[in-house]
Structure 1
């Protein structure tokens, strides 16, 4: 092989930039100067978010099959660590709707200790992902996959709340989606009018307040109003006290669950799902925050913080946690200036737990069900779903497949299938962009002046990425020509990348040419394709090709070889 030109290697990132990728935004903020005015603004924002997070954390915990105090513990422990150690200036962490399905299934199948083990494993996975800088790649999940499983989760959350919303006289609700609805329809004649009226009233109150007074904490007002109405009217409805016996006002001591290799292997798929959801949702939330503020988050620092927070949450008996998009947006709109707002939001929730925990026993489950109905509607993103239904066919198939699998089968299966389908779709599209065809060259009257080629010289142009999805096109080239030329020129200026299969296809083509007495000249290889080809083909037996910098050099060399 001969090489005509070389390019200078790209300059590596400055070491300081690499180190800054793991520095928490809180540290950066404090180093830049933190004033009393900033603290006041963060305190107001933290209190605002805490008012939103209090009822939501309890509702999400109950929907997940846990007691309401588990949700509050998660806000305090994980929420504080995500803000203190994270790579986003405005991120608010805690339990979210995305985890409801996974957590419910893990608790149902493996018990609460199983959930703690899975969350510990997920925390370790997130730590490794952050430290190995995978945060830069986790953002590349296709939108149809994210929207599909988010909408599917919304449907499942909605379905899980119908029982408490209507006060249906049911014992254990079936876990499977269709079985659940069949059981609820059978129980429908026994619905509680008092519970239904309370749920509808709470839902109406939330929606009206959202419309006429969007800054008023509708969730909290609906919960407080429900807790006051129940004893005032003597309603016979289920409350936190009647189902859970109230909630603890203290943070439990850290405790390590009974971890064994067998249990870890059994819970590995659930741990992977929790880690995946926590990573993707936290980075999505950070991207949303960047869009609202013009900032820039540090994805790897964010993943490290998520790993530490989930590990700590599990040790304190809490739920999985991630960045919460709605609460993060609320934090920004409330005037937050730094991660201290997220830290203070966790502190405010802890203060309420310590002071008012006994009063939570009177909160009706119907009010919490109404809250989760609103959460499910917000998660469904109907407008985005409808918008994606006008996308190309492949994206629509990806969206619907992920949605249906999330609802009808399992979230882990849905995510894995969605990512694999997205990869296959991407490879198909990339393969379609690749081509090996007779080259057009020259300008003006000389354009495509193939008659001016020296006798016995043929020139083809390769366009697009030369990877395993497109490599088979090389085998058809000589068949298209018919009579074998003396010199074959491949213009590969438009090839941005090449993988091992592409190199193998080019090597096989070179051997085909050599076997038929045809000299092969490759022109225009740059960057990654040139480096890969040099490493893998140089010195390979039976393979000979000449590499030149551009098409002009290739034609000059072809004339010499054709006349030799």
Structure 2
């Protein structure tokens, strides 16, 4: 499972680079791990445990050479909602179930399917999550007292409004110092771990100048232990599995999307190429193992992965080192972490939310004013005001409906006739005064599926004496047909058979042809009525038409029509023309 090929030609120079990048990313990961855990409604040390266990396992077993795994901001609203509704123990079980799902997805090679989730859906719920994270830190930034956290966005905003009079100026000052350092570091020294420096600086300032005036991790959650917790396997029952299957699936899907998105970003930055199925398996293993030590669900972290690459990492060993570094810092400095003010954590998460908001892509899609804009806005609003599960489900359904509508609009059926000045056929040759009453030639373009069935059915002739005796379908531009399209075609055959007519098909592509063979419609139409070239099919149509009906016809749809207007000449000409093959384009 471990990709040892990644360590081919690995030497001391590579090890030094991985050590440097692993240490840098490990330092960056510590404040983020604690902040994400607190925002998810659990103790800060659980975020550190996740960073250690999941970070090491994702690097060892994942499919990306540079992926850094751990707790991420995208999980915050989901984990908080699951913890609030089902409890912490069930949150761990849901995380393990999600891990099993991820392993199965990777084993069944479903990694590529995750990439098919429409961009408006991913951008919409990512932007919605960013809003929830950002607004969720307002209370800590302002130092509000008596705040009770809720699952719903509006309830949390109401809480802030109710307790706005309890603003703590010391908290604002603490948060402002941390925010300033983080922003300055991002602007002028991007390789410096600004979040950690800001956290330390704000904590020292608060301890020296207004000790006891702001809430800290210790006062809110108790002291952080300096060791990993003991191994604990949660009690799993069928009732719990049934209860948690939906939230577990949501964790798995979001984890898959985030991890593969991060892996794609890593590929673009490093020129490498990840294995999406193996990445899902690695993510699954990490999420099965992390809850056994109290860890929350984890996935690929885009910002930390990017920092890993920029710091010079050359192999997955840098991710393993990052986990070891976090563990060593936990052993040595855990008591000091208890003194970190909560107000100093809030600007870190606010910056994370701002960076993950996809604001440019959001505004770009919004400006297009297309169906994608509608999917984007609805997914975003449902993420913020309802929940992520509903947002993703509705967004996907809307995206599918939009796709079907668009594919249906792409499908075109047009009646055509030969152009005497070229070897092509075209709809411009068909008019009320210039059309063959006995032969109908139709260009069919685009997929013939359920979303386009109505267009095909409305365009094709039905049964009756006034309908063409012969219908020729030119299907070279039909790449796909489903059973609904096949049913429409069968209906056309039935109408033609009832009036003594027949259907001819030219230039059919492999997939529609194979479907017709499977359903038996190919044999019903007759193998002899399928042609490689339109000209051959027109010859057959001309042999089939009634010479008597041609007498007196003034449509002159074909070159042969001038001679066919006389009956005896029509008989001779039909016999002669049957041996010729007009060169009509496919």
Same fold? TM cut 0.5: yes
Q: Distance in 2 between matches of 1:402 and 1:392?
A: 15
2:450·2:482 contact (CA, 8 Å) conserved in 1?
Answer: yes
Q: Distance in 2 between matches of 1:88 and 1:444?
A: 59
- Classify 1:391/1:480 alpha carbon distance in 2 versus 1 (closer, same or farther; 3 Å): farther
Contact in 2 for aligned 1:454/1:559 (Cα 8 Å): no
In structure 2, the residue matched to 1:16 is none
Taking a change above 3 Å as real, the CA distance of residues 524 and 210 of structure 1, as seen in their structure-2 partners, is: same
Structure 1 residue 391, shift from structure 2 partner: 2.1
Q: Which has the higher contact order (CA 8 A, sep 6+)?
A: 1
Q: How does 1:71-470 map to 2 (within 5 A)?
A: 71-235=47-211, 236-439=213-416, 444-448=421-425, 456-470=438-452
* Alignment pair present for 1:68 and 2:44: yes
Q: Greater CA deviation, 345-354 or 440-449?
A: 440-449
Q: In structure 2, how many angstroms separate the alpha carbons of the residues matched to 1:376 and 1:65?
A: 17
Secondary structure of 2:87's counterpart equals helix
Inter-partner Cα distance in structure 2 for 1:91 and 1:444? 62
Alignment RMSD (CA, Å): 2.1
The change in CA–CA distance for 1:519 and 1:218 in structure 2 (over 3 A counts) is: same
2:507 is aligned, of 521, 524, 542, to 524
Bigger drift between 386-395 and 246-255 goes to: 246-255
What is the CA-CA distance between 1:479 and the residue it aligns to?
4.2
For this pair of structures, how many residues does the alignment match? Answer: 539
Question: Is 1:557 equivalent to 2:540 in the alignment?
Answer: yes
Q: Secondary structure at the match of 1:470?
A: helix
Cα deviation 1:148-203 (Å, max 9, x = unaligned): 10110011111211111111012422332112111211211111111111111111
Q: C-alpha separation between the residues in 1 aligned to 2:186 and 2:455?
A: 58
Residue 461 of structure 1 and its aligned partner are, at CA, apart by 0.9
Alignment partner of 1:511 is 2:494: yes
* Post-superposition offset of 1:543: 5.6
Q: Deviations for 1:330-382, whole angstroms, at most 9, x for unmatched residues?
A: 11111111111111111111111112111111111111111111111111122
Change (3 A) 1:444 1:79: farther
Offset of residue 141 of structure 1: 1.2
Distance 1:52 1:437, change over 3 A: same
Corresponding position of 1:473: 455
Shift of 1:443: 8.3
- Secondary structure of 2:83 counterpart: helix
Query: In 2, Cα distance between the equivalents of 1:498 and 1:366?
Result: 59
Per the alignment, residue 584 of structure 2 pairs with none
> Which residue does the alignment assign to 1:12?
none
Taking structure 1 as reference, are residues 506 and 480 closer, same or farther at Cα in structure 2, changes over 3 Å only?
closer
1:520–1:544 contact (8 Å) kept in structure 2? no
Deviation at 1:444, TM superposition (A): 4.8
Q: Output the TM-score relative to the length of structure 2.
A: 0.88
Q: Distance in 2 between matches of 1:113 and 1:440?
A: 72
Cα distance in 1 between the residues matched to 2:297 and 2:67: 16
Residue by residue, what CA displacement relative to the aligned partner does 1:472-492 show, whole Å, maximum 9, x if unpaired? 223223448983222111011
Corresponding residue number in structure 2 for 1:43: 19
Aligned residues of 2:414 and 2:444 also touching (Cα < 8 A): yes
What SS does the corresponding residue of 1:522 show, helix, strand or coil?
strand
Does structure 1 conserve the Cα–Cα contact (< 8 Å) formed by 2:68 and 2:308? Answer: yes
Moved more, 415-424 or 447-456: 447-456
Deviations 1:206-229 (A, max 9, x none): 112221222211000011112212
Normalising by structure 1, we get a TM-score of: 0.91
Unaligned runs of 5+ in 1: 1-22
- Measure the CA separation in 2 of the matches of 1:443 and 1:75: 74
Distance 1:539 1:478 in 2: 19
* Offset from partner CA, 1:46-97 (integer Å, 9 cap, x none): 1111111110000000000011111111111111111111111111111100
- Structure-2 change in CA distance of 1:549 and 1:159 (3 Å): same
Asked if the contact 1:77/1:313 (under 8 Å) is kept, the reply is yes
CA contact (8 A) 2:480 2:512 kept: yes
Shift of 1:455: 7.3
Deviates more, 1:439-448 or 1:423-432: 439-448
Contact 2:66 2:316 in 1 (8 A): yes
Return the offset for 1:255: 2.0
User: Alpha-carbon deviation of 1:556?
Assistant: 3.0
The verdict on how the C-alpha distance between 1:441 and 1:289 changes in structure 2, with shifts beyond 3 A counting, is farther
Larger mean Cα displacement after TM superposition, 513-522 or 546-555 = 546-555
Cα distance between partner residues in 2 of 1:178 and 1:270? 22
1:262-313 CA distances to partner (integer Å, 9 max, x unpaired)? 2212212211110110001111111111111222111111111111111111
